[in-house]
């Protein structure tokens, strides 16, 4: 059975668009079917702000991997593409967050799904709303579109101009 998963890609180092293209190819190569993708958005860094702007995009992926297998795959892709985990919320070539996994609620030391800060981050909600506005968040029982309307984050998120 295929699992439906929503991922958020983020990058603020090097050729940001190239990292996204390579990540999508590596996901496909690993048997993950990219069903849809959002527009690409640019936003100032969140958390640790003294760094370059981020690009973000959301993907809907179908995979036979379980949550832990998908986490291992995404972390492997990040490492292949040069991700260094040195500073929390720091600059990076590529970050892949698992936002939603079916309607599952997962709470382990390694993985928390739905992403625990999704409802507080416009840079994640806006691209997710592009591809899944009616998706009901399994914890809050609200649509992604509603969570976006209620989001307390005021960080500007703008369409990326190629």
**Pair 7, 96: CB distance under 8 Å:** yes
Q: Which of 83, 121, 122, 153 is catalytic?
A: 83
Q: State which H helix or E strand residue 49 sits in.
A: none
Q: Which of 16, 97, 121, 153 is catalytic?
A: 97
- Asked about 92 being catalytic, the answer comes back as yes
Query: What are φ and ψ of residue 22, in 5° steps?
Result: -65, -40
- Asked about 97 being catalytic, the answer comes back as yes
Q: State which H helix or E strand residue 96 sits in.
A: strand 95-101
**Pair 68, 8: CB distance under 8 Å:** no
Q: At what angle do helices 16-29 and 67-80 cross, to 10 degrees?
A: 140
- Asked about 153 being catalytic, the answer comes back as no
Q: Which of 29, 53, 85, 92 is catalytic?
A: 92
Q: Which of 16, 95, 121, 153 is catalytic?
A: 95
Q: Which residues are catalytic?
A: 83, 92, 95, 97
């Amino acid at each position: 059975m295929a699992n439906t998963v929503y991922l958020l890609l983020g990058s603020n180092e090097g050729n940001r668009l190239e990292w996204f293209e390579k990540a999508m190819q590596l996901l496909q190569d690993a048997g993950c079917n990219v069903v849809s993708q959002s527009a690409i958005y640019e936003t100032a860094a969140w958390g640790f702000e003294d760094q370059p702007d981020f690009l973000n995009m959301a993907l809907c992926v179908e995979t036979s991997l379980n949550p832990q297998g998908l986490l291992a795959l995404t972390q492997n892709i990040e490492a292949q593409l040069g991700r260094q985990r040195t500073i929390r919320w720091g600059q990076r070539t590529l970050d892949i967050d698992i936002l939603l996994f079916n309607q599952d609620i997962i709470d382990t030391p390694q993985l928390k799904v739905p992403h625990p800060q999704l409802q507080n981050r416009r840079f994640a909600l806006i691209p997710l709303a592009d591809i899944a506005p009616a998706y009901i968040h399994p914890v809050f029982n609200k649509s992604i579109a509603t969570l976006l309307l209620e989001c307390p984050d005021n960080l500007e998120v703008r369409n990326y101009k190629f």
